[in-house]
């Protein structure tokens, strides 16, 4: 059986979590430490985040984690991490999730190579993210 869409949170944090954790763990080194795997699992469990992916015969082939960000005038579906094969197949499901949540757009921060992949499926590049770490 092939499933493409939002993974129910009981499956995402239960039976499928080891696979999701493994895939997202591959993407985390490209982030800047904003989340741990525990943060993501907890976010999915409490409904603040969700996992969306491609699952074939109980095997997670591709997954993204996302949450809704509310600004004063816009709602944005923010994708934190994604990994695996078949992301282009999941794109329609991601758009559907954004429409269901009444998001104005889908946004992610990613490496230039990943941004090229996103542009191929219709994303625009709107920002450059400048970061200056401050000492604590």
Strand 50-56 to strand 2-7: parallel, antiparallel, or no bridges (unpaired)?
antiparallel
Q: Above 90 in pLDDT, residue 73?
A: yes
Containing H/E element for 4?
strand 2-7
Q: What average pLDDT does this structure show over 30-54?
A: 96
Give the up-direction half-sphere exposure of residue 32: CA atoms within 13 A in the CB hemisphere.
Answer: 8
pLDDT for residue 121: 84
User: Computed over its alpha carbons, how large is the radius of gyration of the chain?
Assistant: 15
d(CA 51, CA 24): 10
So what's the pLDDT on residue 127?
Answer: 79
| Predicted TM-score of the model (pTM) | 0.89
Rounded mean pLDDT, 50-78 = 97
Dihedral in degrees, nearest 10, Cα atoms 86, 91, 96, 100: 100
Q: Would you place residue 55 in the very low, low, confident or very high pLDDT band (cuts 50, 70, 90)?
A: very high
Of the candidate CATH numbers 2.40.50.100, 3.40.50.300, 3.40.630.30, 3.20.20.70, the domain formed by 2-120 belongs to 3.40.630.30
Write out pLDDT tens, residues 98-136.
999 999 999 998 888 888 888 888 888 887 888 888 998
d(CA 56, CA 26): 20
How far is it, in rounded angstroms, from Cα 113 to Cα 107? 16
Percentage of residues of the chain with pLDDT beyond 90: 71
Nearest CA to 85 out of 116, 41, 53 is that of 53
């Amino acid at each position: 059986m092939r499933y493409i869409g939002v993974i129910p949170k009981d499956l995402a944090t239960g039976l499928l979590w080891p696979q999701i954790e493994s895939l997202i763990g591959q993407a985390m080194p490209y982030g800047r430490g904003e989340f741990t795997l525990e943060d993501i699992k907890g976010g999915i469990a409490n409904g603040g985040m969700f996992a969306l992916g491609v699952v074939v015969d109980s095997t997670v082939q591709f997954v993204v984690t996302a949450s809704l960000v509310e600004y004063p005038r816009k709602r944005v579906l923010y994708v934190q991490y994604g990994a695996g094969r078949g992301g282009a197949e999941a794109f329609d499901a991601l758009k559907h999730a954004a429409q269901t949540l009444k998001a104005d757009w889908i946004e992610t921060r990613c490496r230039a190579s990943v941004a090229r992949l996103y542009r191929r499926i219709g994303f625009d590049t709107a920002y450059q993210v400048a970061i200056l770490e401050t000492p604590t």
